[in-house]
Structure 1
């Protein structure tokens, strides 16, 4: 491996390349490629909005833009409002004597949720369990990639990390449990959901995308969950929050216009996602929709 810092030019044959912050999760980058004929920008997964752990991506002028279109058909609600709504719901659950289970992705979402809770409701007792423990430790080894890295370290000291069976049992009495997996397809979150489902004051709060066929999608659509081979009813409050770290339609269109390319290639998008982007951008640049 050859590593390169964000903003530093490096060469591959006749091409000059450099990375730019992508704003998706810490360490995610876009790559700018300068060839003898043109300048290309490949976004990868990106977001122009800041999140608790990373600042947003900035536009780069180019001739050809390869633009992700994951949420090309979705207008995200204001992130601040969604964060406030999440904290308010957690406090509501705790006030009625329940525990809020927040399934979260190991890299990005779990750390975001914990930083939001630490910032807005530091009196909460929050327990964290899952693969994100190792991810967070790696993040803290690279503070240059983190937004306000000292705040990440403070959050990590504040929350209680689950590392064994006795810790799991203690977590059941916590105010909040943040745990993988984010789509409820496995991980400790399934164990917690099984234990918490018998007490109606508890709640499951989803903060990430729930793919078709995932446990989280089954929970949203049918209030059921696959637990250790059985599909069981979940008679708890279930609510979803929009804390995505992918740019939405508004951010994608504004980003593309600011980059001012002659051509834009929309990738990582289904038909529903790329068509609205194509419609909005077609009058300003040549749009390509690879199959």
Structure 2
């Protein structure tokens, strides 16, 4: 057995792992888009042989794990694509958007690729073993990262090889906690936040509430770059909670700003999240039982048309009014958030709130690092001065932090025998590898 990494071994995006479990037989675990550094067509192409690959196994529907699937199909891949039932619902939405941005806007080509995708998708329930061949069985377990996310267990000749995908945080809104490991002879573990701890969920909500109140006081905009899947829905969930708590305060009138979801993709994903509420955690189900609507409350306005998007930007350039804008892309590499940033970063009344990882070299990283120093960012080839207030709320990360990753390794009923770290910066991987070795005495494959 061997694993060949075609992306996502020493980077935080682009996950793509070829698991060769027997001579001439392999499965591909994820096929993700590189979202840092070189994101050219050449970097995203399928530059490896696919003849031996018997199936694609998808852990979840974030672009850095599925964004290269259109290129895989274009390379001639026609084998089954296994994923959870929720991922099967979300995947066509995500890839349709990715094709329009990265490949073509030709409607016939897009429809052809999506039709082919639907033919190949094979949804699988959590905790259900499936035989890929006489030699290989796979099973999806709850990862708690986004709706439908899973880690993958592969059973070969009595050995258990586990690919973590992305492991989520505990006590995440809407989602169950990750399922504990049963056993792992070889664990391929993500390491995005292997060097740090997240702030508690209660603290993040309190800080978000403070930013929102500042917006009301100075009549400025709050700009939140957010990934369409997971982060957007968590934000809406918490904002609804903040509104509810403020409305319950006695003898106090509070002008709450309008919440604008300006992303056709995020709006469509949010609808699917609502449709799949049977998969939500108990806390979210209790909120529904009380007659509240955590993803569709009265202050929420959804913008889908580009004309409405431009009208709102032009209005905010000249008028001062409290408003919260949630838009993609999460790392400010494109999408509608870039237009808001160009218009409003120079305005000192603006607050920018980062709630997710900003990969090195992305505009989001530049704003996060240099904005607080009075710096600038390059957007669409133009230098934009940053006078806005910049905030980073680490508690909104969809990735487990260092302690939660260690807890995941330690959750196994039987001892994990070997670990290889993936999906992380090399410097961070070295820190996490040392922690794993010290705490569990488990050998961790060398980080090159």
TM-score calculated relative to the size of structure 2: 0.60
Q: What residue in structure 1 maps to residue 343 of structure 2? A: 195
The separation in 1 between residues aligned to 2:213 and 2:324, in whole angstroms, is: 9
The separation in 1 between residues aligned to 2:202 and 2:212, in whole angstroms, is: 16
Residue 370 (structure 2) pairs with residue 217 (structure 1): no
The more displaced of 73-82 and 152-161 is 152-161
Q: What residue in structure 2 maps to residue 264 of structure 1? A: 419
> Per the alignment, do residues 276 and 199 of structure 1 end up closer, same or farther by CA in structure 2, a change over 3 Å counting?
closer
Q: What residue in structure 1 maps to residue 391 of structure 2? A: 239
The separation in 2 between residues aligned to 1:217 and 1:174, in whole angstroms, is: 25
The separation in 2 between residues aligned to 1:264 and 1:232, in whole angstroms, is: 44
Give deviations 1:112-136, integer Å, cap 9, x for gaps: 1121111112544201111312222
Q: CA deviation at 1:179?
A: 0.9
User: After superposition, where does 1:78-117 map in structure 2 within 5 Å?
Assistant: 78-117=200-239
CA contact (8 A) 1:267 1:290 kept: no
Q: What residue in structure 2 maps to residue 32 of structure 1? A: 153
Listed as ranges, the gaps of 5+ residues in structure 2 are 1-120, 245-255
CA contact (8 A) 2:219 2:322 kept: no
- Aligned counterpart in structure 2 of residue 156 of structure 1, from 296, 315, 319: 296
Q: What residue in structure 2 maps to residue 226 of structure 1? A: 378
The separation in 2 between residues aligned to 1:41 and 1:47, in whole angstroms, is: 16
Give deviations 1:142-191, integer Å, cap 9, x for gaps: 33433336759542344110123246534744521111111122211122
TM-score calculated relative to the size of structure 1: 0.90
The separation in 2 between residues aligned to 1:80 and 1:10, in whole angstroms, is: 40
> Per the alignment, do residues 189 and 48 of structure 1 end up closer, same or farther by CA in structure 2, a change over 3 Å counting?
closer
Number of paired residues? 291
Residue 213 (structure 2) pairs with residue 73 (structure 1): no
Residue 269 (structure 2) pairs with residue 135 (structure 1): yes
More contact order relative to length (CA 8 Å, sep ≥ 6): 1
Q: What residue in structure 1 maps to residue 176 of structure 2? A: 55
The more displaced of 24-33 and 275-284 is 275-284
CA contact (8 A) 2:363 2:379 kept: no
Q: What is the CA RMSD across the aligned residues, in angstroms?
A: 2.3
SS at match of 1:89: helix
The separation in 2 between residues aligned to 1:111 and 1:184, in whole angstroms, is: 18
Q: CA deviation at 1:36?
A: 3.1
The separation in 1 between residues aligned to 2:423 and 2:294, in whole angstroms, is: 35
The separation in 2 between residues aligned to 1:143 and 1:182, in whole angstroms, is: 24
The separation in 2 between residues aligned to 1:197 and 1:274, in whole angstroms, is: 34
**Runs of 4+ deviating beyond 6 Å:** none
Bigger Rg, which one: 2
Q: What residue in structure 1 maps to residue 139 of structure 2? A: 18
